[in-house]
Structure formats: C-alpha cells, structure tokens
C-alpha cells in the first residue's frame, strides 16, 4: 500500500459478502468456527482489498506481500476473502470441510492458492511470519509480512518466543494484528488465562504498538500505513473486535467459537447480514 486511498463503501460491501459466506460455509459443513471468523472480517478485507501488494492471477509472485493466519481455525474468513479476491472460484466455498475439498478446516498451503502457511496449531503462525520477514531482510526484498493472531492464542508461549525473535532481528517489515474479541472456546480471556495488559506486554517485548477499532476500515488502514513508517522494530496492531460481529445472537457469545448455525439460525443470520454492519 502506497497511499491512504481506498473505497470504503466497496470495503463495507465486501465485508457483508464475507460474513454471509462464513455463515453459509459453517452451516453447510455443520462444523467450523464462525465467531472468531466474523470478528476478523474487516481486518482481512482491508488487507486483501486495500493494503497488501498481491496479484491473485500470480499467487506465487516473488515480490508479493505475505499474510499468515496464525489463528488457523478461523479459516472461513480467509477462504471467503481469498475467493472474493479472485484466488479461486467462489463456488468452491460451498465445499468447505468436505472430504474431497481443498478447503480443509485449517488452511493448507499446498492445496489452496493464496495460502502462505499451513496453520492450526496455535502460536505457530506468528513464528512462520517472522521467518518470512527475516527471509525478506536477508534477500534484500521490500515485500512485507502480515499476520493475524487471536487473544486466546496469545496465551501460547510460542507467541512470545516469536515476539522476542521479531524484535531481536528488527523486523520492521512485519505487521501483526491481534483480534482482541475477549473470548475463546472456554469463556472469556480473563476467566481462562488473563492476557492483559496486552499493549504493555508487546511494548515490553520491543514492538511498536497501535490500537484500533477492529471493525473500522479507516482506523485499520491508517494503522497499517503508519506501520510502514516504523523503522527498526515490528508493529503490533491490537484490534478491539466483537466475536460473532454482525449476527445478533452470536455477538459476544463464547458458545459460537466453534459451533455451526442450524437451518433456522442460518436464515436469521443471513437476513441480518443484508446490511452493512461495520462502524466506519
């Protein structure tokens, strides 16, 4: 991204389509993780449609920016975004989690165009992103690496090992987003294993820290642009989000971490998702 020019109305409409696909995919598969996928929609829409330097017609273009979904269970938001961006036909989304489909429950870099890293074991994706960013530095390349981690995932020790490595190697070409929706499969972060104060922790580990409304395109894109200007250290963008965003009965409910909607719930959700639900 070289400027702050973007079409917010287009991004809002893309976000609605991504959310509808998340509901349809998890309903069709009768499994999956809708809650944490819905919370990350604006982040991925902004990355793939306004921020990253990519070419879906040449997925392995050497000078492309890279994205790693560290919270790999949120694959529906990644798959829907990739399909809408043109990496593979949207029709493929209806085969999510089928035995003969390339769209497994967790991203597979060998079978899905646009997927940079196979993820699922929490904590590993950020480490892989660090490796990619370090490779760019060593090879004197100017492409950037982006990653998305979860707040529940931040309880993993490997996240903090990766954070130390990123700061040690001064990976200013690495920008991570933290999807801070406050919930995980067993309840709130506070109940399971408190992660706050997140901003202070990342600063202490040597990162530049920015905080945004994770459903506001303007704030997300401005923060990503600012991260490009930071030299000598990686940037963590803590995005305050709502789990299940856009679907009234899913919002702020830990139950929807890994549960598919029923026929009736799908219909209700899709009716609600006929309108734009991001704030800005």
pLDDT tens digits for range 47-102: 999 999 999 999 999 999 999 999 999 999 999 999 999 999 999 999 999 999 99
Residue reference for tokens 């299940």 = 244
Q: What would the pLDDT profile of 92-126 be if each residue is shown by its tens digit?
A: 999 999 999 999 999 999 999 999 999 999 999 99
Give me the pLDDT at residue 277, please: 59
Does residue 151 register a pLDDT over 70?
Answer: yes
> What percentage of residues in the chain have a pLDDT greater than 70?
97
When pLDDT is cut at 50, 70 and 90, the band that residue 276 belongs to is low
Q: Is-contact 57 273, C-beta < 8 A?
A: no
Judge contact between 78 and 69, C-beta under 8 A: yes
Asked if 109 contacts 118 with a C-beta cutoff of 8 angstroms, the reply is yes
| pLDDT score of 5 | 80
Q: Cβ(18)–Cβ(81) under 8 Å?
A: yes
In this predicted model, what pLDDT tens digit does every residue of 27-51 receive, in sequence order? 999 999 999 999 999 999 999 999 9
In the block, tokens 């997300």 appear at: 220
Kindly tell me if the per-residue pLDDT of 278 is higher than 90.
no
Strands (E), the chain: 66-69, 145-150, 174-180, 183-184, 187-188, 208-213, 235-240
Tell me the pLDDT tens digit for each residue of 131-143.
999 999 999 999 9
Euclidean distance between CA atoms 252 and 43, whole angstroms = 18
User: How far is the C-alpha of 259 from the C-alpha of 239, rounded, in Å?
Assistant: 23
pLDDT at 2 over 70: no
E-assigned strand segments in 110-226 = 145-150, 174-180, 183-184, 187-188, 208-213
Provide the pLDDT for residue 153: 97
Collapsed DSSP state (helix, strand, coil) of residue 243: coil
Say what the pTM is. 0.96
**pLDDT score of 15:** 97
Structure tokens at 226: 């600012």
pLDDT at position 112 is 98
The mean predicted confidence, pLDDT, of the chain is 96
The full set of domains in the chain, from first to last, is 8-272 (3.40.50.970)
At 169, list the tokens: 């190697």
Rounded CA-CA distance 103/89 in Å is 12
Q: Report, in angstroms and rounded to the nearest whole number, the Rg of the chain calculated over CA atoms.
A: 17
Q: What is the pLDDT of residue 3?
A: 56
- Residues with Cβ < 8 Å from 64, sequence gap 6 or more? 52, 53, 54, 55, 58, 143
What tokens does 22 get? 């998340």
User: What pLDDT was estimated at residue 4?
Assistant: 75
Give the pLDDT confidence score for residue 1 in this predicted structure.
46
């Amino acid at each position: 991204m070289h400027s702050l020019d973007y079409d917010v109305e287009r991004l809002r409409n893309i976000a609605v389509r991504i959310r509808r696909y998340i509901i349809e995919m998890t309903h069709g598969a009768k499994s999956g993780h809708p809650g944490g996928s819905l919370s990350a929609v604006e982040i991925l829409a902004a990355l793939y449609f306004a921020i990253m330097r990519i070419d879906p017609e040449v997925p392995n273009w050497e000078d492309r920016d890279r994205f790693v979904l560290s919270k790999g269970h949120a694959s529906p938001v990644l798959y829907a975004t990739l399909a809408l961006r043109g990496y593979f036909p949207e029709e493929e989304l209806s085969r999510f989690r089928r035995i003969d489909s390339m769209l497994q429950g967790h991203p597979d870099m060998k079978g899905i165009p646009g997927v940079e890293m196979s993820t699922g074991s929490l904590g590993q994706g950020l480490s892989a992103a660090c490796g990619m960013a370090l490779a760019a530095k060593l090879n004197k390349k100017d492409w950037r690496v982006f990653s998305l981690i979860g707040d529940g995932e931040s309880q993993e020790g490997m996240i903090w090992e990766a954070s130390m490595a990123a700061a040690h190697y001064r990976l200013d070409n690495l920008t991570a987003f933290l999807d801070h929706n406050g919930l995980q499969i067993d309840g709130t972060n506070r109940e399971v294993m408190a992660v706050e104060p997140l901003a202070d922790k990342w600063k202490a580990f040597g990162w530049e820290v920015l905080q945004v409304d994770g459903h506001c395109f303007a704030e997300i894109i401005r923060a990503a642009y600012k991260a490009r200007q930071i030299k000598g250290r990686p940037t963590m963008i803590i995005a305050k989000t709502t789990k299940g965003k856009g679907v009234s009965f899913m919002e702020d409910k830990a139950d929807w971490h890994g549960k598919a909607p029923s026929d009736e719930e799908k219909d209700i959700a899709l009716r609600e998702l006929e309108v734009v639900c991001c704030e800005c």
